[in-house]
């Protein structure tokens, strides 16, 4: 049987994508709008997607579809319940960004803890040239050694971040999960993590239980000297509350790689911040060249394993 594969948003992956080793046709599009999805997938048996959504009303019109291969770890763009009802398998990518995301996390942490952007701006404004001595101390500089990292979410990315933290001499706390047992093994109560951490880094999937995991109440429980890092999903944080927290000094800074809606064509409160203690990058923590190639290879591995009857990385 010939499988019909369609990649809905090929431009989201800058890597070589090999063709599967079975009889198939292959069609790819740089991007696909919601209005184009059904027509493009009408004959597809396998769809590859990164961020192009596949909701229940679309899936209902695709009776030939049997596998959705997600070119990412997060799969909140897929209606998993509808797939389960229709017998459509969903496979995602695992453990491909175990170095690139933690490294990005620590790039943000180091820049914020050492006030790099504030000092760079001072130099550009001529502040150093006017100083009365060889240096100046306008912004706080804090070491990582001896400080505490609080992790919300474990998994490969959380563990990778913890490994780097320990190499810097940091103490690591794992927060109890948003859902599940009230006292998860080896984890610390959320309020204690908020109160004791100098850095909090989020590595959770976006689910109903984790949406706005960090809001005004949680931000007020953090140290005023603490920073918040989010390289996971924008919806984990109440973004308007974060704006207030940064402007009013509830916390010392934040580094984000994600927003609730991406791309933020209709604006976002974090886009308007012009603060030296806030860094926003455009969802690129995952996107080192090496990580993207690992992702591309695993994407096709997932498809081949499914067709050969030995599926891997299924979420449903």
| Residues forming the active site | 233, 262, 283
Strand order in the sheet with 46-49: 24-28, 3-7, 46-49, 67-70, 89-91
How many angstroms from the chain centroid is the CA of residue 34? 23
Taking the CA atoms of 293, 45, 304 and 205 in sequence, report the sign of the dihedral they define.
positive
Determine contact, residues 46/5, Cβ cutoff 8 Å: yes
DSSP conformation class of 177: P
Helix (H, G, I), strand (E, B) or coil at 307: helix
Alpha-carbon distance of 138 to 134, in angstroms, equals 13
Which residue do the tokens 């990412």 mark? 72
Element (H, E) at 204: none
């Amino acid at each position: 049987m010939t499988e019909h594969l369609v990649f809905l948003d090929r431009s989201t992956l800058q890597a070589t994508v090999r063709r599967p080793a079975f009889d198939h046709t292959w069609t790819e599009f740089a991007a696909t709008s919601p209005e184009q999805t059904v027509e493009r997938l009408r004959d597809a048996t396998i769809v590859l997607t990164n961020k192009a959504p596949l909701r229940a009303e679309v899936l209902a019109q695709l009776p030939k579809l049997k596998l959705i291969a997600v070119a990412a770890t997060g799969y909140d763009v897929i209606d998993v319940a509808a797939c389960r009802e229709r017998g459509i398998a969903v496979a995602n990518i695992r453990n491909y960004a175990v170095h690139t995301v933690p490294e990005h996390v620590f790039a943000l942490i180091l820049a914020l803890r050492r006030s790099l952007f504030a000092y760079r701006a001072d130099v550009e404004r001529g502040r150093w040239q006017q100083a009365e001595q060889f240096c100046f101390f306008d912004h706080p500089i804090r070491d990582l050694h001896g400080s505490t990292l609080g992790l919300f979410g474990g998994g490969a990315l959380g563990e990778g971040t913890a490994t780097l933290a320990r190499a810097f001499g940091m103490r690591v706390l794992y927060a109890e999960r948003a859902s599940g047992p009230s006292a998860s093994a080896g984890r610390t109560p959320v309020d204690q993590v908020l109160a004791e951490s100098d850095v909090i880094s989020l590595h959770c999937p976006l689910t109903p239980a984790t949406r706005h995991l960090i809001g005004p109440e949680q931000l007020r429980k953090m140290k005023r000297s603490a920073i918040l890092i989010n390289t996971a999903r924008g919806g984990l944080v109440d973004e308007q509350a974060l704006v207030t927290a940064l402007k009013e000094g509830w916390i010392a800074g934040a580094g984000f790689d994600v927003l609730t809606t991406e791309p933020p064509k209709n604006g976002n409160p974090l886009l308007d911040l012009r603060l030296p203690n806030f860094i926003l990058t455009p969802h690129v923590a995952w996107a080192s060249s090496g990580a993207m190639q690992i992702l591309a290879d695993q994407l096709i591995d997932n498809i081949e394993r499914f067709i050969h009857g030995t599926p891997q990385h299924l979420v449903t």
